[in-house]
């Protein structure tokens, strides 16, 4: 019986392959057009783009664009902001998510815990455009909520949108607001899966709540933490474009601390029309990102191969 089915499958396999090609085709075509074709355009970073020449007709200038990108100081500012802010966000969100998940786990029996979890998760679904509205309503120099409260207490109003120094903190807070619920769910899912017997064992040995957390819960979710951390590190050169674009918008005064590679590229392209700089910055980001993602994925695979992407 088994032999027969093998034989039949063998003959049918040829016929089936055609159907499978057809099934994969449309998807692959979309990817070819929107992902692979643009990849050929990376040569633009090495050219001086002009409209008449197009991609292939423009003049080749080697690393000129990159030299300008780095020498003008733009590159370092962008790298510092992109990598620095991403790192800050990651540390903040992951730490808080773990703590909140641990706390929620303690009260998980009560239905209130599920409500809390939902409330915390809700910001994740709000589009960043709306987040931009919140930021405006809360931080506007004249009408924002915070300034109203401040002037109520006699403290002077602060022109938030003109002071670069506040923004890492502001952005970090918004990133936490948005991401906490999501990661809390992930960690909580990991925590509730821990076998209660381990807790029993600790309690029998005279351990208190804090011992339970340190010796049981944390070790069990350590792999999860590492995975989240390394995946975030792999993407450290990629900022969350929509976040920055909507909250920071085109407020030049705060660019020194808030401009990231992604927003720089889009702005340089659409507003300034400088294809060369944008192309160089974009390629730089792509290459750094590529190396880091591979590294991060390699690390994650060592920890828990199922969770690695490749």
Partner 1 sequence: MAKKLSKLNNKPFKMTIIAIFIPICLISIIPLWVIFVASFTQDKAISDYGYQLWPRIFSLEAYTYLFTTPGLIGRAYLISIAVTVIGTIVGVTLMSMLAYTIAHRNFKLAKGVGFYVFFTMLFSGGVVPYYILVTRYLHLKNTIWILILPLLINQFSVLLLRTYFRRLPQSIFEAAELDGAGEFQIFFRLVLPLSKPAIATIGLFSILSYWNDIYQALLFIDDQRLYPLPYFLYRIIFEHNIIQEGAQYTGTITPYQSVRMAMAVLAIVPVLSAFPFIQRFFIRGITLGGLKGGE
* Vertex 181 angle, CA 122 and 308, to 5°: 125
Q: Do 181 and 122 touch, CB atoms closer than 8 A? A: yes
Among 50, 71, 106, 200, binds partner 1 (CB under 8 A): 106
Count other Cβ atoms within 10 Å, centred on residue 195.
10
Please state the closest distance from residue 66 (CB atom) to partner 1, in A.
13
| C-alpha–C-alpha distance, residues 274 and 295, integer Å | 32
DSSP string, 109-153: TSHHHHHHHHHHHHHHHS-HHHHHHHHHHHH-TTT-HHHHHHHHT
Please state the closest distance from residue 97 (CB atom) to partner 1, in A.
10
User: What is the pattern of x (binds partner 1, CB under 8 A) and - over residues 216-255?
Assistant: --------x--xxx-xx--x----xxx--xx--x------
| C-alpha–C-alpha distance, residues 115 and 108, integer Å | 10
Among 68, 116, 215, 220, binds partner 1 (CB under 8 A): 116
> Token pair of 71, please?
């020498």
User: What is the pattern of x (binds partner 1, CB under 8 A) and - over residues 67-86?
Assistant: --------------------
| Size of the residue set binding partner 1 (CB under 8 A) | 112
Asked whether position 181 contacts partner 1 by CB under 8 A, the answer is yes
Residue 306: alpha-carbon gap to chain centroid: 21
User: What is the pattern of x (binds partner 1, CB under 8 A) and - over residues 265-294?
Assistant: xx--xx----x--xx--xx-xx--xx--xx
Please state the closest distance from residue 59 (CB atom) to partner 1, in A.
16
Among 68, 133, 166, 215, binds partner 1 (CB under 8 A): 133
Residue 187: alpha-carbon gap to chain centroid: 17
Among 53, 63, 80, 119, binds partner 1 (CB under 8 A): 119
Tell me the window of 75-83, 111-119, 162-170, 252-260 that interacts with partner 1 (CB under 8 A). 111-119
Residue 143: alpha-carbon gap to chain centroid: 31
């Amino acid at each position: 019986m088994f032999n027969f089915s093998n034989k039949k499958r063998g003959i049918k396999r040829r016929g089936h392959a055609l159907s499978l090609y057809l099934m994969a085709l449309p998807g692959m075509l979309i990817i070819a057009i929107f992902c692979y074709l643009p990849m050929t355009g990376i040569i633009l970073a090495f050219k001086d783009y002009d409209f008449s020449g197009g991609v292939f007709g423009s003049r080749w200038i080697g690393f000129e664009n990159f030299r300008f990108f780095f020498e003008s100081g733009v590159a370092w500012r962008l790298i510092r902001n992109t990598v620095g802010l991403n790192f800050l966000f990651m540390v903040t969100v992951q730490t808080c998510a773990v703590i909140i998940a641990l706390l929620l786990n303690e009260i998980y029996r009560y239905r209130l815990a599920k409500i809390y979890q939902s409330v915390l998760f809700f910001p994740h679904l709000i589009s960043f455009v709306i987040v931009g509205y919140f930021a405006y309503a809360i931080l506007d120099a004249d009408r924002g909520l915070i300034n109203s409260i401040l002037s109520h207490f006699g403290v002077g109003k602060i022109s938030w949108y003109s002071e670069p120094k506040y923004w890492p903190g502001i952005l970090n807070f918004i990133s936490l607001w948005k991401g906490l619920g999501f990661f809390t769910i992930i960690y909580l899912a990991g925590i509730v899966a821990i076998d209660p017997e381990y807790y029993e064992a600790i309690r029998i040995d005279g351990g208190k709540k804090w011992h339970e957390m340190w010796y049981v819960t944390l070790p069990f979710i350590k792999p999860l933490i590492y995975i989240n951390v390394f995946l975030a590190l792999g993407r450290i050169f990629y900022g969350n474009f929509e976040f920055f674009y909507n909250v920071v918008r085109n407020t030049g005064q705060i660019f020194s601390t808030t401009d990231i590679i992604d927003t720089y590229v889009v702005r340089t392209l659409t507003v300034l029309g400088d294809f060369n700089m944008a192309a160089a910055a974009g390629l730089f980001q792509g290459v750094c990102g590529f190396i880091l993602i591979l590294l991060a994925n390699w690390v994650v695979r060592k920890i828990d191969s199922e969770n690695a992407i490749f």
